[in-house]
Structure 1
Amino acid sequence: MQLISHQLIWGNQQHNAFTDLIKFNGIYYCCFRQATNHVSKDGIIIILKSESLNSWQIASKIVITNSDLRDPKLTIHPSGKLLLSYYHKVFDSLGKNIINQNCIQFSQNGLTWSSAKMIGEKNWWLWRIRWHNNTALGIAYNRAQNRVKLYQGDPLAGFLLKKDDLFSLKQNSKGYPNESDICFLDDGRAICILRRDADTFTAQLGISNTSYQQWQWFDLNEYLGGPAILKLGNGKIIIAARRIQWPFRLSTWIFELNLADKKLIPLFKLPSAGDNSYPAMIEENGKVYVSYYSQHRILKNGDKPIKKQDKCAIYLASIAL
């Protein structure tokens, strides 16, 4: 694999971050959160569209008063609808956080959206939704509970708890599991990459049976922030994620997953520094396209630690297979 191009597709004086990327009805869509900074209370969702992956324009925005809309994700429902999921943090007039819930909306054209529907459980942060045989899986985390749950079903009809204790400090003796991604093997089994932010901070690889009730977990010996998985047409599995290298540097990397050995192979770093990562990937015409965010263009020293008040922009990388 080789990086062949890299372009800024959205940037302004806001904190633009937490991307997803999809092709829907022949058009490419990239969504992200725009706000004052990384943890402010004013997050909105912007959805860009492009016919060529070169020129991008706003297709739609999702804005809710007194709300922070975080970590938008796009997926295609078996019925052909485009689904947008996100975490909705609601604040009262005094700025107090009063409710947190997962929401989903659908669109027939990527331009106009249905009203929001709540899915999952309040205060359990549902991450990516992935489909297999017309059924979706998704993992939600709760920091106070120090564990993650697995949900299964159709988000537009019923997204039900599948496994209450998928991975936890109590069960696995490893703390603060949170962000995740899932992909499916040819035999129907699922694999999961699970971020952790406690003790050794090492991400976990989960491999399920086809019922998704029995999972084996393996330590990957790498910190992976905002992980995204892509199973390529040639059968290889790649991962894009934030990586920590010492002395303290954060950057977005592409890895290959050696599933037989349960090991990660670092391939290369994308242009990135400071507050960065939360990538998404699609494979198209012998290339992999990666959306992500970074602040490397505004940092004089690419090895500086995160400055959450600095502004971030959205980038698209093209990688030759």
Structure 2
Amino acid sequence: MKLISTQSIWQNNQHNAFTDLVEYQGRYFCCFRQATNHVSKDGIVRILVSDDLENWQLISTESYHLADLRDPKLTIHPSGKLLLTYYRKRFTPAGQCIANENCVSFSTTAISWSQPKVLGENNWWLWRYRFYQNTGLAIAYNRSQNTVHLYQGDPLASFHKVKDPLFSLSSHGKGYPNESDILFTEDGTAICILRRDADSFSAQLGIAKLGYQNWQWYDLAEYVGGPAMLRLSNGKIIVAGRRWIANRLKKQLTTWIFELDLDNKKLIPLLELESAGDNSYPAMIEKQGKLYVSYYSQHSNRKCAIYLASIDL
């Protein structure tokens, strides 16, 4: 694995962050949040499109009055529609938060989107939706509860909590589980990477057979923020996210690519991307022997910009 190039595909005098990347109908789409800061009340969703993974242009913008739209994700629904999901924090004109909602819209063009549908419970953040055949899974977390729940179904129809808790401080002895990604094997087995931000800060590997009620959990001994997973055409599973390396002088948080060794239940660090400051929240696609990774970083600009890394596999 070798880095070929890193290009900025969106930058301005705003905080641009929290990416996702998908190939849909022969084109490539990258979404992200644009706002004043990492945490502010004015987040909107930008969606870029490219025909060649080199030249990008803005195709649509989603916003909501008196709301912050956070951590957008793009997912292809089994029906062929493109789903846009995000966490909507709504405020009064005086700035008081009145709702924290999970929203989903769909489109077939990525230009215009359906009215957002609210899913799940208020204050429980459904992170990333993944599908096996016609069934979707997503994991919800709450910052104050030290637990995550598993949701299953169809976000455009019926989507319900099916396991409470999935992982928690009280049941597993490890605190603050939160962001996640799920990948499915050919037989429907779910593989999950779960971020944690307490005690050892180590991410967890979860594995469950079809039905998704009985999970086995393994400690990965690595901090992985904003995890993203991808199975390559050669069968290997790679993980991208924010890695925390502590040394004598400072704590370094940068964006890394790992290989997931399922046999030994561990992560193997492969490549550090150009990144510094506020950074990471990557997404990945494989195309013609190359890996493309979207992410954000401050390594060449005081304000966060959106980058696309091209990697030779």
Q: Equivalents in 2 of 1:288, 1:119: separation in Å?
A: 32
Aligned to 2:211: 211
Aligned to 2:299: 296
Aligned to 1:315: 307
- How many residue pairs match? The answer is 310
Q: State how 1:186-265 maps to structure 2 within 5 Å.
A: 186-247=186-247, 248-265=251-268
Shift in Å, 1:144: 1.4
Aligned to 2:109: 109
Amino acid at match of 1:252: T
Give the secondary structure class of the aligned counterpart of 1:128. coil
Q: Is 1:287 matched up with 2:263?
A: no
Q: State how 1:1-321 maps to structure 2 within 5 Å.
A: 1-247=1-247, 248-298=251-301, 310-321=302-313
Amino acid at match of 2:196: R
Amino acid at match of 1:287: K
Shift in Å, 1:11: 0.4
Amino acid at match of 1:208: A
Unaligned runs of 5+ in 1: 299-309
Q: Give the TM-score, by structure 2 length.
A: 0.98
Give the secondary structure class of the aligned counterpart of 1:296. coil
Aligned to 1:302: none
Amino acid at match of 1:317: A
Unaligned runs of 5+ in 2: none
Shift in Å, 1:187: 2.2
Q: Deviations over 1:95-115 (max 9, x none)?
A: 011110000000111100010
Give the secondary structure class of the aligned counterpart of 2:170. helix
Amino acid at match of 1:312: C
Amino acid at match of 1:137: L
Q: Equivalents in 2 of 1:254, 1:12: separation in Å?
A: 26
Shift in Å, 1:36: 0.2
Q: Give the TM-score, by structure 1 length.
A: 0.95
Q: Equivalents in 2 of 1:214, 1:222: separation in Å?
A: 24
State the percentage of identical aligned residues: 66
Shift in Å, 1:58: 0.5
Q: Deviations over 1:195-254 (max 9, x none)?
A: 000011000000112110000000000110000000111110000010011231110000
Shift in Å, 1:80: 1.0
Q: Equivalents in 2 of 1:272, 1:121: separation in Å?
A: 35
